[in-house]
Amino acid sequence: MDSAAAGIRNGLFLLEPMPKEIPEMPEPQAICNDVSRSAIFIVATVNGGAEEAATVRSWCGDVAALVRSVGTRAPAGKLSCVCAFASDAWDRLFGAPRPAQLHPFRDIGVGERQALGTPGDFLLHIRADHMDLCFELATQLLGALGDAVTVVDEVHGFRYFDMRDMVGFVDGTENPTGRIADKFTLITDQDPEFAGGSYVIVQKYLHDMEGWNALSVETQERIIGRKKLSDVELDASVKPSRSHSSLTTITDENGDEVKIVRDNMPFGRLGAAEFGTYFIGYARSPSPIEQMLENMFIGRPPGNYDRLLDFSRAVTGGLFFVPSAEMLESLADRDAPAVAAVESKPDTAPTDEPRHQGSLNIGSLKGIPQHE
């Protein structure tokens, strides 16, 4: 199977055979940590040329130490950080070898219903039970990078009651845990040079809460595929094939469900009427998440799309590779790739325009048509 990854054959999702046991491998980053009460998601681009690229490479060796330094001040806060890199950035910063399935985010969908890639060279997923820990670590990490990078998207997420998303349903119910989560998220012998690594896809969704809240609870439940209060999955006899839970459930050629680890977080700004969910999904290949997005935005079969997208709009998208903790530290010692000096990106250069928390100058959904 090529590095573009699996697809659909005879209506079934195909992925490399699941290893029965996870062999000894480098320590992964904190991708399968328990869901926290707070999170900061930062997507940034690397500025300038060779000097700025060298700064980022050197910084890779300091990330773990900065996490320890901040985290030891409040051990009960469960501070962690995942650092990941996009395809183009990997080539510019580190060169060969490169992760086998790392590629730019694939645009999916047409018209008003689209999942589109947006600028971003690296991702920071910072988690803790207290926002002050997240904020302090983000300050230290970005401070160490200085003018070498530009933040293009920043979202501060929070746990909403009993693990609910902004539209009121429990999120992440089907997440695998423990060793099972490792099997679904960690690269093993299918790409041995990058064992212990993972892939992560992120998207920021903005919700039309006025339109959503105008729906009956029963209609909302049919769109999601679960009971709103109890979180119990609707019976197959009444759950629509276009429900969110139906379209994001995929199986391999043996009929076994292919899972991912989600750590989504709600976010919002009342003054801007901005209400959203930051989707973040980890997997050992980008293919299952890409297939889920295709089912949602195009439909399974085509046209039978996720009705949640009538009330939720994806405004960012990025695919990143998460090196193991050991590899992340060792990237500081990588030589610069044997290519021309990195050129600055005019489309991501800082401007004098006002910026919003949530970034990309994305505001509210006031202009989205209301739905019945």
What amino acid positions are annotated as catalytic residues? 171
SS (H, E, C) 64-129: HHHHHHHHCCCHHHCCEEEEEECHHHHHHHCCCCCCCCCCCCCCEEECCEEECCCCCCEEEEEEEC
Taking the C-alpha atoms of residue 94 and residue 89, their distance in angstroms, rounded to an integer, is 8
Taking the C-alpha atoms of residue 19 and residue 352, their distance in angstroms, rounded to an integer, is 51
- CB neighbours (10 Å) of residue 48? 16
Written as one letter, the residue type at 144 is A
Q: How far is CA 45 from CA 75, 174, 246, 281, 315, in A?
A: 31, 33, 35, 21, 17
Q: Give helix then strand counts, H and E, for the chain.
A: 10, 16
Q: Collapse the DSSP code of 154 into the 3-class scheme (helix H, G, I; strand E, B; otherwise coil) and give the result.
A: strand
Q: Collapse the DSSP code of 274 into the 3-class scheme (helix H, G, I; strand E, B; otherwise coil) and give the result.
A: strand
Cβ-Cβ contacts under 8 Å for 161 (sequence gap 6 or more): none
- CB neighbours (10 Å) of residue 6? 23
Taking the C-alpha atoms of residue 161 and residue 59, their distance in angstroms, rounded to an integer, is 36
